Amino acid sequence: MASENRLQRILIIGNGGAGKTWLSRMLGERLGLPVTHLDDIRWQPGHYGIARDNAEVIEDTRRLSEADRWLMEGVYGWLANILLPRTDLLVWLDVPEAECLDNIKIRGNQGGATDESFAELLDWVAGYRTRGGSSCHQMHLDLYEGFPGHKHRLPDRTSIGVFLAQMTAADQLT
């Protein structure tokens, strides 16, 4: 990835359970970039499912985007739109919903979710290609296709592994 040797601001998008958090953690360590999970901006601290005020979320996202170096990940297309003008690399984890569902079931409830909200999450993830809104497959496709910079669409675990192997701290030094 020699042509991408000045990547300082990376955005990873994809469905819930696609592996965004795992990949951001691995890339953040490998590239020495601070990682921000958009879920941590969107939801009340310790309470996934209880949204923060949208205006505050937008302002926090804008402020974070102004940093010189970052790696952010999330499902939220409306927040990705704020980040894209400063993004050096867009990575879309476009893995099958079945894999996403398996990953979510393995990790289980997070942030004090109830069994009911966990079931709702599974339904929401399963509907990635058919639901509307800013966190759906079509929105991510539109973001990806409209992004003029460096980008990678990774459709499976193999391509994610290859991508990660190619990204090294040495790529960032020149």
d(CA 134, CA 116): 23
Greater model confidence, 19 or 4: 19
Per-residue pLDDT for 170 more than 60? no
Q: What is the pLDDT of residue 117?
A: 83
- Report residue 120: phi and psi, to 5°: -65, -40
Segment holding 122, helix H or strand E: helix 115-126
Q: What confidence tier does 3 reach under pLDDT thresholds 50, 70, 90?
A: very low
The two three-digit tokens of residue 132, written as one number: 């509307």
Q: What is the pLDDT of residue 111?
A: 64
Range of lowest pLDDT (26-30, 111-115, 140-144, 153-157): 111-115
d(CA 172, CA 145): 25
* Ranges of each domain in the chain: 2-167
Name residue 102's amino acid: D
Q: Is 37 exposed, middle or buried (0-12, 13-18, 19+ CB in 10 A)?
A: middle
Helix, strand or coil, per DSSP, at residue 107? helix
Per-residue pLDDT for 45 more than 60? yes
d(CA 91, CA 13): 6
The two three-digit tokens of residue 56, written as one number: 């505050």
The residue count for the chain: 174
Report the chain's mean pLDDT, rounded to a whole number. Answer: 90
Q: What confidence tier does 2 reach under pLDDT thresholds 50, 70, 90?
A: very low
When pLDDT is averaged across residues 24-46 and rounded to a whole number, the result is 92
* Contact between 40 and 104 (Cβ < 8 Å): no
Greater model confidence, 32 or 117: 32
The two three-digit tokens of residue 40, written as one number: 């941590």
Show Cβ contacts of residue 71 under 8 Å, excluding neighbours closer than 6 positions.
Answer: 9, 10, 11, 12, 24, 27, 28, 31, 33, 34, 35, 36
Name residue 100's amino acid: C
pLDDT, tens digit (0-9, with 9 covering 90-100), for 65-117? 999 999 999 999 999 999 999 999 999 999 999 999 999 999 887 766 788 88
For the domain covering 2-167, report its CATH number. Answer: 3.40.50.300
